[in-house]
Amino acid sequence: MMNAAGSTPSTQAGYSLIEMIVVMGLLVTLSGMAIVQINASNPGLKGDGAMRTVLAQLNQARESAITQRRYVRVVFTPPNLVQVIREDTTTTTTVLSSVLLEGGAAFMLTTGLPDSPDRFGNGTAVAFGSVTNVKFSPEGTLVNQDGATANGSAFLAVPGTSLSARAVTILGSTGRIRGYRWIGSQWSLV
């Protein structure tokens, strides 16, 4: 169709003000929901980071003991320090690593949570029975200061946040290291 000037009429394209307000409202709502979800998952992420630090240190200690054919001690110092120390001789040692848990995590028990599924805990945050010194042997097993096989657990969390609770267990006879995450009702293997 032609108009009086002899050209075709133009249609105006675009969005109305109401359409723009509706879209902006949806974006604000979705952004708010995302922020709430991120804040809710933050303690769990901090717990995961701390657990992975402990797992990495234990794996490093075991691998160093096997490859270097030396005893390698693991020292857990509350509230949040893990050290890996190689025993060079009966009187000399070398610190291979010294790492702090980040994100406010600490070695601690969380009130109301049960022992890990491996049942190596004894009511303390770092539990290796009555052992005062644990180390990996050159064969990869975890032993105590007397050379006897030792099993144990290290529990960690961000204080005041049960969903950040994590447990790391070691089966001494094989040197198997496992991590567990508290998911609100039970421990879940990582």
Among 26-30, 72-76, 88-92, 127-131, the least confident range: 127-131
Within a domain: 62: yes
CATH number, domain containing residue 69: 3.55.40.10
pLDDT band, very low/low/confident/very high, at 138 (cuts 50, 70, 90): very high
Pick from 60, 67, 74: nearest CA to 128: 74
Within a domain: 167: yes
Within a domain: 137: yes
Are the C-beta atoms of 125 and 108 separated by less than 8 Å?
yes
pLDDT band, very low/low/confident/very high, at 39 (cuts 50, 70, 90): low
150-177: average pLDDT: 94
Within a domain: 155: yes
Within a domain: 94: yes
- pLDDT 10s digits, 46-102: 999 999 999 999 999 999 999 999 999 999 999 999 999 999 988 999 999 999 999
Within a domain: 168: yes
Within a domain: 128: yes
Which structural domain range is residue 150 located in?
Answer: 43-189
1-10: average pLDDT: 61
| pLDDT reported for residue 68 | 96
Average pLDDT, the chain: 90
| pLDDT reported for residue 44 | 83
Domain count, the chain: 1
| pLDDT reported for residue 151 | 94
Within a domain: 185: yes
